[in-house]
């Protein structure tokens, strides 16, 4: 009987030691690029806003026990489109957004967001990350809601931090109704 008790105790100890050294592995979930969407809004100081889309090139979200712990999203800057204009005006604005005074897509074909800190639970997170646009990396923070196999957020990005000063009243005088707000808005819906 003592032998059975000792064996049982030894097995329990081995099990506890094994469980205490077991590391919870991250689960990496691929972002489904064709189903995911990014809509942007650029606003003028006076006058109408412009809207459009931009495609996700690739991305992953990392989870531990169904809790978001990290992620990385790569955006195809050449895919930027304007959805509120048609014809020549649409083509002209898309060309301007791809030009050097905006996103310079010939040289900077991708932008990237890398999550550096994730706080929260129950599908509601505060994410801090490094956003790289035109080769310049700056920190950003935003709220992200995760529900089942989707994640969504709206964030504002100050374009002047990434060297995009065109039409900014912070840098140019006498722009009047041609002034463009420094921040543009991104509405992101990820499917994974």
What percent of the chain shows pLDDT beyond 90?
76
**Reported confidence tier of residue 167, pLDDT bands at 50, 70, 90:** confident
In a domain, 10, yes or no: no
188 φψ region: left (φ > 0), alpha (ψ -120 to 50), beta (else): beta
The domain spanning residue 137 has which CATH number? 2.40.128.110
* Bridge partners, residue 136, by sequence: 133
In a domain, 161, yes or no: yes
Work out the burial of residue 121: count CB atoms within 10 Å of its CB; fewer than 13 is exposed, 13-18 middle, 19 or more buried: exposed
With contact defined as beta carbons under 8 Å apart, do 168 and 182 qualify? yes
pLDDT value for 111: 98
Q: Provide the number of structural domains found in the chain.
A: 1
In a domain, 75, yes or no: yes
pLDDT value for 174: 59
In a domain, 123, yes or no: yes
Q: What is the pTM of this model?
A: 0.84
Within 10 angstroms of residue 182's Cβ, the number of other Cβ atoms is 20
Range of the domain at 95: 24-191
| Contacts for 55 with CB less than 8 Å, ≥ 6 apart | 33, 38, 75, 76, 79
In a domain, 3, yes or no: no
Which string of DSSP letters, residue by residue, matches 78-119? EEEEESS--HHHHHHHHHHHHSTTTT-TTT--EEEEEEEEEE
């Amino acid at each position: 009987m003592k032998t059975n008790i000792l064996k049982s105790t030894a097995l329990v100890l081995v099990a506890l030691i094994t469980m205490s050294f077991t590391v919870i592995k991250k689960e990496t979930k691929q972002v489904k690029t064709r189903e995911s969407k990014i809509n942007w809004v650029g606003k003028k100081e006076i006058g109408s806003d412009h809207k459009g889309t931009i495609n996700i090139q690739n991305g992953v979200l990392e989870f531990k026990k169904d809790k978001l712990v990290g992620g990385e999203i790569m955006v195809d800057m050449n895919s930027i489109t304007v959805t509120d204009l048609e014809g020549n005006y649409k083509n002209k604005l898309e060309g301007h957004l791809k030009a050097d005074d905006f996103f310079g897509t010939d040289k900077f074909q991708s932008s990237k967001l890398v999550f550096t800190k994730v706080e929260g639970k129950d599908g509601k997170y505060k994410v801090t990350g490094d956003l790289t646009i035109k080769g310049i990396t700056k920190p950003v923070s935003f709220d992200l809601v995760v529900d089942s196999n989707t994640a969504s957020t709206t964030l504002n990005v100050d374009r002047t931090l990434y060297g995009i000063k065109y039409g900014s009243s912070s840098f140019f005088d006498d722009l009047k109704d041609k002034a463009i707000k420094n921040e543009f808005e991104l509405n992101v819906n990820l499917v994974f």
